[in-house]
Structure formats: structure tokens, C-alpha cells
Amino acid sequence: MSALSPVNAKGPVPRHVAIVMDGNGRWAKKRFMPRFFGHKAGVDALVKTVLSCADRGIEHLTVFAFSSENWKRPTEEVSGLMGLVLVAVAKYLTKLADRGVRIRIVGDRSQVSDKLRAAWEHAESITRDNTRITLSVAFNYGGRWDVVQACRQAIRDGVATDDLDEATLNRYMALSYAPDPDLFIRTGGEVRMSNFLLWQAAYSELVFTECLWPEFDDAALDAVLAEYARRDRRFGGVKDAPPAQALRQA
Ligand code: FPP
């Protein structure tokens, strides 16, 4: 476990949690309701989860709200999701801002409407100085897109080929302001990453749960955090053995 991880009574707490919020459609289907109903319930689950994460000392929560691939969904669902974001910002922004949540949006903004872009900018601007927890909403985001946009920006900045190492590229990645996620959760029972945070999740602990996203509550969060606390993180090294680098220098 990283020496930087805070520890509470139940074990080490991740600094950064990333979530693929999957299962909204199935949750709605089980209730004979349209998929949109599931996404709406998904927003409520997200608001509760960010506050619960803050209560537990988690510093960053990053969620996958709309992937670069989600444009392949029916037009009605895509426009429903876009509209839902506007409604969610209007309904919850003040509450989140008042509770110390800083909001950041990561992803390609060039393809979203001016109205949505303005709502994002407003949410980011009024929460900019909050420090309790940072909620990063990945919207029109893909892990491969992120690597490509970072390389392009580095090239534009004139970074020399030999200067382009991992730390330098990381400065151009969408989440450059956050530590890498310690814990990567996917709800909904599927066991894949779906192009989320491919670069940043290199050493994340992966936890997959059957729980459908709208049902993800404090008990589900605590179960996942307990699983995380049981993991033995070595980052490619060996527990309790000095790294070869140190031996070479001795
Ligand atoms: C996956 O469930 C979920 C999504 C593609 C959208 C997630 C979005 C939200 C929870 C709303 C986010 C809103 C804001 C304001 C950030 P699915 O539709 O793939 O479910 P299924 O696998 O059961 O079909």
C-alpha cells in the first residue's frame, strides 16, 4: 500500500477512485421502464456516491459518464443523456458546491453543444476553489483519445523526442492534476475496462461488482473499499524486499 494512503478504522483508503457506472439500462428494464429512467437514477446514485466518498476521505472520484463510443447508441438515448446532464447540473450543482466538491470535466468538448459546454464551464468555475473532493466527470472521453490528445499537445509544444518520457506525457493527460487511480470499480457485472483511463489505471486495483449502478449505495461502496483494503499493492516490486535500484546504489 502506498505510504501516502490515509488509513481509517477499516484500513487504507484510496486517494483516487475511478468508476465505470454500468447497469443503468438493465436496472430500468427490470422495472419495465425506459433506459432513460435508469440514467436518471444513475445521476442520483452519483451524487450520493461523491458525498459518501468525501465522507470517507477519498480525495478524487472520477466517473465515466459518456464514452467516445457512446455516440453509437440510439440518437434518442444520446440526446437524452445530454439533456440529463443539463438537468443534473441545474438540480445538483449548488448542493455539490456547498459541500466542498470541486468539479472537473475531462474529455473532448469539441463535439458537445454550446449549451452543454457552457454548463460544464459554469460548474467548473463555481467549484474551482473547493478542496474536499474533486469529482472528475469523463464525458466524450476515451483512454485512447486521451493518449493521442496528450501526444498531439506535446508535439505542438515542441517537446523534443528524447524529452518525451512518462512523466512528461503525463503532464498532458486529461487527469494530470490527479494522482493515478488507486481503485478502479466497474458496476453492472461486466469485466472489462471499456477504454476508461487506460494510461492512468496501469497499477489500479480493479474491482468488478454485480451491483447495477443505480443500486450502488454506501453498503456497496464500503464492500468495495474493504476489498481494496485487503489487496497487497506492490507496483511491480516485491513486498518487504529492497528495490534492485537501491541495491545497485549500496
Ligand atoms: C452505462 O449503463 C451508463 C452510461 C452509459 C451512462 C452513465 C451516466 C450517468 C450515470 C449519468 C451521468 C450524469 C452526469 C450529470 C455526470 P448502460 O446504459 O450501459 O446500462 P446497461 O449495461 O444495463 O445497458
pLDDT in tens, 143-172: 999 999 999 999 999 999 999 999 999 999
7-8 and 11-12 strand pairing: antiparallel
Distance of alpha carbon 169 from alpha carbon 175, whole angstroms: 11
Position 2 scores a pLDDT of 43
Of 8-12, 42-46, 165-169, 203-207, the range with the lowest mean pLDDT is 8-12
Angle between helices 35-55 and 218-230 (to 10 degrees): 60
Q: Supply φ then ψ for residue 12, to 5 degrees.
A: -65, 140
**Which helix (H) or strand (E) is 90 found in, with range?**
helix 75-98
Position 19 scores a pLDDT of 98
Digit-coded pLDDT (tens) for 77-112: 999 999 999 999 999 999 999 999 999 999 999 999
Distance of alpha carbon 187 from alpha carbon 213, whole angstroms: 6
**Which helix (H) or strand (E) is 56 found in, with range?**
none
Q: Provide the β-strand partners of residue 133.
A: 101
Domain boundaries along the sequence of the chain: 17-229
Placement of cell 499537445 in the chain: 153
Position 1 scores a pLDDT of 43
Distance of alpha carbon 193 from alpha carbon 78, whole angstroms: 21
Q: Which of 154, 150, 158 is nearest to 174 (CA)?
A: 150
CA-based end-to-end distance of the chain: 25
Q: Can you tell me the mean pLDDT for 212-233?
A: 96
Query: In CATH, which superfamily holds the domain spanning 17-229?
Result: Decaprenyl diphosphate synthase-like (3.40.1180.10)
Position 3 scores a pLDDT of 41
Position 235 scores a pLDDT of 82
Distance of alpha carbon 110 from alpha carbon 86, whole angstroms: 17
User: Percent of the chain having pLDDT more than 70?
Assistant: 92
Inform me whether the pLDDT recorded for 248 exceeds 90.
Answer: no
What are the cell numbers at 162? 528524447
Distance of alpha carbon 81 from alpha carbon 200, whole angstroms: 26
The verdict on whether 70 is a catalytic residue reads: yes
* Closest atom of ligand 1 relative to the 35 alpha carbon: 18
Regarding the beta carbon of 224 and ligand 1, being less than 6 Å apart is answered no
Determine which residue's CA is closest to atom 6 belonging to ligand 1. 65
Regarding the beta carbon of 22 and ligand 1, being less than 6 Å apart is answered yes
According to DSSP, residue 161 is labeled G
CA of 81 to the centre of ligand 1 (A): 8
Digit-coded pLDDT (tens) for 110-123: 999 999 999 999 99
Q: Give the pLDDT band (50/70/90) at residue 10.
A: low
Q: Which of 246, 214, 202, 207 is nearest to 230 (CA)?
A: 207
* Cβ contacts of 109 within 8 Å, gap of 6 or more: 117, 120, 140
